[in-house]
Structure 1
């Protein structure tokens, strides 16, 4: 069977059309060498195939490729698909962005020697399935990227799957609720002088995607009611006091104006997003 190439990412990865508006990433040694869009390749030449299941995942993939190397994107997407199919674990699609971004950031820290072990406490007894998934994901990341993240990284990956658990709705979120959420966040940012710029645009956009899916979880009553270990918030409060303060005000406003209750998972992820956005330095002595 011959597949039509839609895009060539590098010598070893291409995007192909499968018909019926379906697409996939085909990987294999030299599979994209001297190839152009419109050329064909044999399906039997592929070492692996990653199906892009819907339009939203295709969009996430294309967006991430602007900033993240193809091998990291493919590895993260394969890891998520493994969790869905092997562990029958349902996740909201935004995890394709958040997990990919996390792996990319950790990879950069590991390569430049600035990687630090996670401060997140061990939660495997409370979340055994998510922890098992995270262990399998870490193995896949280490093998595919030819790196060696320490086992403590499993805890960070576990949080991503806990936070993203759920089923995406057929239709998108209502514009009115999206507008209200964005207004709350942007008003708080204005108070602290936070604006989207060239330096922080990637992190700003990641936060906006997180907010989009938060709206969907609110509308579908899909907020996880299992609280994480309180040590997590305490550690972030100590390390990133300004990020903690900003995220707290956003969460309080969201709860008051939307009449919802955000769990510790959501609050922790707001701290992470805002810390990346403002690049607050850790303050271990605080």
Structure 2
């Protein structure tokens, strides 16, 4: 896999040998990489196919707006839930949960916590 773009040190956009683009997650996968660099596939924990611009654009926008620590927390929450509940979630949950956590954090920082319809 070849590096295309880093969202943060642990999330990157890459291209495989068949020119299919993937969003990959793993410790240091995007750290100090330049476009075209080979990716150490052993560090990849999760990958999401970014097969069309209709899918890729929204994913990239989400990833560009999420702090790395928020993504890390969501990964840990999901891992723990899988162990505790004994299920395996679809990979889409990682970005979905991180996006929801990020939105909640932004609302809290803006002083809007507790103002939602479900509170």
TM-score scaled to structure 1, two decimals? 0.29
Where do residues 217-236 of structure 1 align in structure 2 (5 Å cutoff)?
Answer: none
Q: How many residues align?
A: 100
1:55 offset after TM fit, Å?
A: 2.3
Checking the alignment, whether the CA contact within 8 Å between 2:14 and 2:21 is kept in structure 1 is: yes
Aligned to 2:47: 49
- The equivalent residue for 1:10 is 8
CA offsets per residue over residues 193-237 of structure 1, 9 Å max, x none?
xxxxxxxxxxxxxxxxxxxxxxxxxxxxxxxxxxxxxxxxxxxxx
| Gapped regions of structure 2 (runs ≥ 5) | 75-88
Normalised by the length of structure 2, the TM-score is: 0.60
Q: Which has the larger radius of gyration?
A: 1
More strand by share: 2
Indicate conservation of the 8 Å contact 2:5/2:30, yes or no.
no
- Choose between structure 1 and 2 for higher RCO, CA contacts under 8 A separated by at least 6 residues: 2
Q: 1:106 to 1:80 in 2, by over 3 A?
A: farther
1:131-187 residue CA offsets vs partner (Å, 9 max, x unmatched): xxxxxxxxxxxxxxxxxxxxx6xxxxxxxxxxxxxxxxxxxxxxxxxxxxxxxxxxx
Q: Sort the Cα spacing of 1:9 and 1:81 in 2 relative to 1 into closer, same or farther, 3 A.
A: closer
2:66 is aligned to 69
CA RMSD of aligned residues (A): 3.4
Query: CA 1:43 to 1:80, structure 2 compared with 1: closer, same or farther past 3 Å?
Result: closer
Give structure 1 stretches of 5+ with no counterpart: 83-95, 121-151, 153-286
- Which has more helix, going by share of residues? 1
C-alpha distance in structure 2 between counterparts of 1:65 and 1:26, whole Å: 11
